[in-house]
Structure 1
Amino acid sequence: MSKRAGKAESNKKLFWRLHHWVGLYTGILIGVLSLTGAIAVFIPEIDELIVKHYYHAASVPSPSGIPQFGKSIDSLIKRYPDYSSLTINLPDQDGQTAKADMTIRPPDQDGLVRYDFFIDAGMDRIVGQRNQQNSLANYLRQMHVRLYEGYWGRQLVGLGGIALAVVAITGLLIYGNFMKKQAWPNLRKTLDMRIIMADWHKLLGISAMAFNLVIALTGAWLGLQPWLMRWLEIETPNTFKAPIVMEADADKTQYIDWQAVLAATKTEFPELIPRHLAPSTNGSASITVRGNIAGQIYERNINTLVISKSGYTPIFKYDVREQSFGHKFYFIQEAVHFGDFGGLLLKAVYAILGLTSGFLSISGFVIFLFRRNKKKGNSTAPTSPWKTTFVYSMLVLLFLIVIALISLFIGYTQAALVAGIVINVLLITLIAYSLVRYVIVRCRGKRQAGIH
């Protein structure tokens, strides 16, 4: 064997080890992110259905074609004068309600709570409310973004993105040349389930490799963003703060003509499609209008116009089209990760392709179990890999369902506590097992070397 061929063989073995062990030890995490991500791309659509059919909150068309919500907002401010924040979410289309996302102190609860108040934007009346943190939409996002683990779950998800990238790249390096020599798709005709799963594993892994790599890298960036920005000294774009000009209490009670706000937005930023309106509560006497520009692939509601409450004159404008490459790159990550720029068809494609990484985790685990049985000469339990995989899969689904039920019917805080305990216990167990296994293998290797 030539030196070059020997090096290539050595590299292939290294790639195989990386692919094997990274996939094995992070497979459950990748599977969870795959499943929750495939559902999370539809969060706005799912939430709108829930609002309409569970809360029976809908809106009639506005006679003027402009959402009407001023009277409802005024009534909420009078009802909760000590509110700490308010954001008005405008409807995307007729029939949808406007939402007032308000942080208040309910009389029957301790501490501040975020509530969504649903507003009929045609008749300007409140038609429902909910605890925002206990909503299904919040559960789906929090589970996918941070696994409901508040301390460092987001970073764990980022590491899962790196693991998926490693698995995708090593899979290409291992199987790329092999797959090029075959007609696509090539599935061997056999009843051997290990071979069937291996063929599908390679086929879907190579076919969805580009997509999974994009999802992995954007997910890694979004998850590890707090650490990376601190290490690389990157400043968050679009963080303008208007100067304080009055007392906070006076600011909160200052009258706002919301139709004049929308008219001023149309004049000062014609291309902006306003979606979020946030009046200040800190004394800056300003209104922040956030929204989108048609045809742009960026994070939702990142284009910004800040106007004064008195006179509705512009204070600050942020048009992402006019920003540097660094700003554009920063704000394109979430849109690309969730497919939030091309309508329902693109989201459906994202969901289907996103599930492939979950299938690769399951199929890779099944292949590992079959190979381990074959290596041990275990022919008495041919279905054991399926049983083991089924048990693990059901435990993961049970975890997701239990956390969802706790979050929806008991509370977000309690759900986060349970999820944090489960995740940290499992992580500590996995690390301990890996260390013990490493020590045992090392000692066994030294003992065998001493014998020889």
Structure 2
Amino acid sequence: MMNKKQLWKWHSWLGLYSGLVICILSFTGALAVFKVEIDHSLNKELFYVTPQEKVGNINQYIYAILDTYPEHNGYIVEPAEAVDRSWKVSFRLKEEGRNIAKEVFFNPYNGEVVGERDMYKTVSFFIRNIHVRLFDHWYGRQWVGLAGVCMLISLAVSIPLYFDFTKKQKFGKVRTKRSRQKWADLHKFIGLATIVFHLIIAITGAWLGLQPKIQKPLMGDRPGIYKPTEFPLSKSEDNRTAIDFIHLQTQVKKEFPELTSLKIKSSADGSRTVSVFGNIPRMPYERQTNFVVFDKGDLSLVYKLDLRKTGIGSHIFYMQEALHFGDFWGIGLKVIYCFLGLIGGFLGISGFFVYYKRTEKKRVQKYPLLTTSNIIYGFTLGSVLIMLLIAYSSITFGADYPTSTITTPAFYGLICIYILYRLIRYFKTKNLNHINS
């Protein structure tokens, strides 16, 4: 009995303290699954063109764009994936003292620049950034990772409790006499039915969040990365060395025919190489981690990473992000991930409801407005309004503005206020005990 009580206590407190973050991550994760589709729908004029009979001089079009921004230091080219798609050239530079990630889209048939933008001001960047790091550039990613650890422990301790519960009550039989009872049963049954999915999300989310801090000490560099050993050119010469992109695509097709969704990255470190990253369709690996490296001069093969031919360690490493976002097996799997992500948010809210309903009578006697429904509605409405404010600020002013003025100060400010509150409570209790004694 004591063991079960202890498990319930762990599950409850972990859920309460990490539940706010997990709810936000569940709903933003459901949105992040479709960030590419959302981006394309909102910006059709950038991504889509009218097909014509013959593609124009791609090399000329690309270098005309790069010549317009001579201050760039290295660039990436993304070829069209279909006959009705544009090509994209992206690079980083400074504009008015601010770092931007410039993306320039052009029509491959006539070279017309159909639009350009700062990637940091896009809806897709906001969606990913709010989910991956809560829009905090200090330790946001690590806070998300710790929330994943809390979620993992909470799920692990709930497994024996859930199975013990189903011994006493038939699985799926929801009691409806009292609202707290109904929500508690729904929380338990739905949690048990989706526990495998949420364990995968918790494990991969914890790793992806903490990876920047723990990867190097635990395992060193990413598996299979290419590190050049020869640098025949200066950095400026390397950056100016031309590439025949059409010939390069032919070489990629020859050396790695399954590679799709190409991303071509030109070296700027003097190694005189060009790397082409891409996906192998329907393989559960992180996007664009398979790649080939060519010499810029004669486009001879320098290095190739085909994850299918690597060891189990590389497979596990590169599966983490794919399993977390479900973006490797078409739109059907994305819909499933989105639905299950929304269920994760429901489990967080239903857990709050059960806890606050159980403590409602005592709380409302002291604070009449703090009913369970008011707390839930207030949290939901407040979270939506804050995320809309962050989204508007991000898209209008760039990622730096909401990070430095909204999320980072508010996040760490609330932590400091909570610590101060707990210290005051601690010393008040200590003094009271001292007086009574």
> TM class, shorter-chain normalised?
over 0.9
For residues 274-309 of structure 1, give each alpha carbon's deviation from its aligned partner in whole angstroms, at most 9, with x where no partner exists.
Answer: 510011122221111001112311001101101011
Q: 2:59 aligns with which of 67, 70, 73?
A: 70
SS at 2:82 equivalent: coil
SS at 2:75 equivalent: strand
For residues 155-203 of structure 1, give each alpha carbon's deviation from its aligned partner in whole angstroms, at most 9, with x where no partner exists.
Answer: 000001011112222222222221244333211132x221121121112
Distance 1:226 1:56 in 2: 33
**Paired amino acid for 1:79:** T
How far has the Cα of 1:375 moved from its partner? 5.3
Instruction: Report the CA distance shift for 1:78/1:324 in structure 2 as closer, same or farther (over 3 A).
Output: same
Q: Does structure 1 retain, via aligned residues, the 8 Å contact 2:94–2:100?
A: yes
Distance 1:186 1:67 in 2: 65
How far has the Cα of 1:407 moved from its partner? 0.4
Q: 1:310 aligns with which of 266, 291, 297?
A: 297
Give the aligned partner of residue 301 of structure 1. 288
Give the aligned partner of residue 71 of structure 2. 82
Give the aligned partner of residue 60 of structure 1. 50
Give the aligned partner of residue 4 of structure 1. none
Distance 1:206 1:172 in 2: 7
1:51-450 correspondence to structure 2 within 5 Å: 51-52=43-44, 55=45, 57-61=47-51, 63=53, 69-106=58-95, 109-190=96-177, 192-242=178-228, 243-374=230-361, 378=365, 384-417=371-404, 418-434=406-422
Distance 2:431 2:190 in 1: 39
SS at 1:270 equivalent: coil
**Paired amino acid for 1:238:** G
Instruction: Report the CA distance shift for 1:148/1:87 in structure 2 as closer, same or farther (over 3 A).
Output: same
For residues 16-64 of structure 1, give each alpha carbon's deviation from its aligned partner in whole angstroms, at most 9, with x where no partner exists.
Answer: 1111111111111011101110000111111111220xx4552233646
Distance 1:289 1:110 in 2: 31
How far has the Cα of 1:211 moved from its partner? 0.8
Q: Does structure 2 retain, via aligned residues, the 8 Å contact 1:70–1:258?
A: yes
How far has the Cα of 1:231 moved from its partner? 3.4
For residues 235-278 of structure 1, give each alpha carbon's deviation from its aligned partner in whole angstroms, at most 9, with x where no partner exists.
Answer: 22233133311122222222221111001111122222251001
Instruction: Report the CA distance shift for 1:306/1:38 in structure 2 as closer, same or farther (over 3 A).
Output: same
Q: Does structure 2 retain, via aligned residues, the 8 Å contact 1:39–1:351?
A: yes
Residue 34 (str. 1) matches residue 26 (str. 2): yes
Structure 1 gap segments, 5+ residues each: 1-8
Q: Does structure 1 retain, via aligned residues, the 8 Å contact 2:89–2:103?
A: yes
Distance 2:33 2:305 in 1: 26
Distance 1:167 1:67 in 2: 57
Distance 2:345 2:319 in 1: 24
**Paired amino acid for 1:262:** Q
Q: Does structure 1 retain, via aligned residues, the 8 Å contact 2:56–2:110?
A: no
Of 283-292 and 165-174, deviating more is 165-174
Q: 1:10 aligns with which of 2, 17, 24?
A: 2
Matched residues, number:
435
Instruction: Report the CA distance shift for 1:318/1:405 in structure 2 as closer, same or farther (over 3 A).
Output: same
Of 267-276 and 135-144, deviating more is 267-276
Q: 2:16 aligns with which of 20, 24, 45?
A: 24
SS at 1:232 equivalent: helix
Q: Does structure 2 retain, via aligned residues, the 8 Å contact 1:18–1:170?
A: yes
For residues 217-239 of structure 1, give each alpha carbon's deviation from its aligned partner in whole angstroms, at most 9, with x where no partner exists.
Answer: 10000001122223324322233
For residues 76-105 of structure 1, give each alpha carbon's deviation from its aligned partner in whole angstroms, at most 9, with x where no partner exists.
Answer: 121112211211123333433222112134
Instruction: Report the CA distance shift for 1:274/1:357 in structure 2 as closer, same or farther (over 3 A).
Output: closer
Distance 2:367 2:212 in 1: 50
Give the alignment's TM-score, normalised by structure 2: 0.92
Distance 1:321 1:13 in 2: 46
Give the alignment's TM-score, normalised by structure 1: 0.89
